[in-house]
């Protein structure tokens, strides 16, 4: 079974999450060691992956579904129907 391709929204949200969370964690932690930077980078990647996976997938538009559905004839309600009256020939 093939994996579905990520949508544009998933890529955008995941990438923005990685970039901004990395910057925020580096600025807040004020770390300068290699191990600290690696921990921040890995945690930002995991957070970006979680955000990208929780973005809802796109669904078909209702208009597209309505076009595919078979059409039924529209009928007037029973109360609105009147009997047909013919005029007498003169």
Extract the tokens encoding 40: 């921040």
pLDDT in tens, 1-57: 777 788 888 889 999 999 999 999 999 999 989 999 999 999 999 999 999 888 876
Does this model's pTM top 0.85?
no
Do 40 and 26 meet the contact criterion of CB atoms below 8 Å apart? yes
Distance CA(44)–CA(47), nearest Å, equals 5
**pLDDT band (50, 70, 90) for residue 80:** low
DSSP-based three-state secondary structure for 40: helix
Distance CA(64)–CA(58), nearest Å, equals 13
Of 17 and 84, the one with more pLDDT: 17
């Amino acid at each position: 079974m093939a994996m579905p391709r990520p949508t544009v929204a998933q890529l955008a949200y995941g990438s923005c999450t990685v970039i901004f969370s990395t910057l925020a964690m580096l600025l807040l932690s004020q770390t300068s060691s290699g191990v600290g930077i690696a921990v921040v980078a890995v945690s930002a990647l995991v957070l970006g992956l979680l955000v990208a996976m929780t973005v809802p997938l796109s669904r078909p538009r209702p208009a597209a579904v309505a076009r595919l559905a078979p059409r039924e004839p529209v009928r007037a309600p029973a109360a609105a129907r009147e009997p047909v009256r013919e005029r007498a020939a003169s």
